[in-house]
Amino acid sequence: ETGVTQSPTHLIKTRGQQVTLRCSSQSGHNTVSWYQQALGQGPQFIFQYYREEENGRGNFPPRFSGLQFPNYSSELNVNALELDDSALYLCASSFGQGKRAGELFFGEGSRLTVL
C-alpha cells in the first residue's frame, strides 16, 4: 500500500452533473497530482498542486479544477460532466522537487461512470 487514499472508489453520475473526488496524500509528500486513465490507455496528467497552488496543468478544460489543503490532501472537481469523462481518476503524491519528483505513489483511484 502506498498510503495514498482516495474516495469514493466508484460512483455513477449523469451528464451535466458535478463531481468531487478526494485524496489524502502519503505522509511527508507535499505534491499531489491528478491523472485520468481511460480504459486501455495510460494515465493522462490533469494537474498538480504544490503548496496549495496549481503549478502545472495538462490538456484539460477549465471545468476540471482542484484544491490542495494545508494538510496536503486534495480534491478534484469536474463540472458539467460529459460521457467522455468516464474513467479512472488517480491521485498521486510525491516528494516535490528534484529528480525524485517523478516517483509517484498512486492511490487506488476513483472510477467514475457518466451516463
Partner 1 sequence: QKEVEQNSGPLSVPEGAIASLNCTYSDRGSQSFFWYRQYSGKSPELIMFIYSNGDKEDGRFTAQLNKASQYVSLLIRDSQPSDSATYLCAVRRAGGTSYGKLTFGQGTILTVHP
Give the list of residues 6+ apart from residue 103 with CB closer than 8 angstroms, or none. Answer: 94, 95
Q: Which is nearer to partner 1, 86 or 106 (CB)?
A: 106
Take residue 66 and report the three cell numbers written for it. Answer: 482542484
- Identify residues 35-94 at the interface with partner 1 (CB under 8 A): 40-45, 48, 50, 55-56, 58, 88, 90, 92, 94
| Using rule CB under 8 A, residue 103 touches partner 1 | yes
**101 near partner 1, judged by CB under 8 A:** yes
If we measure between CA atoms, which residue out of 85, 100, 98 comes closest to residue 34?
85
> Which residues, other chains included, contact 55 with Cβ-Cβ below 8 Å and sequence gap of 6+?
48, 49
The residues of the shown chain that bind partner 1, judged by CB under 8 A, are 2, 31-33, 40-45, 48, 50, 55-56, 58, 88, 90, 92, 94, 96-99, 101-109
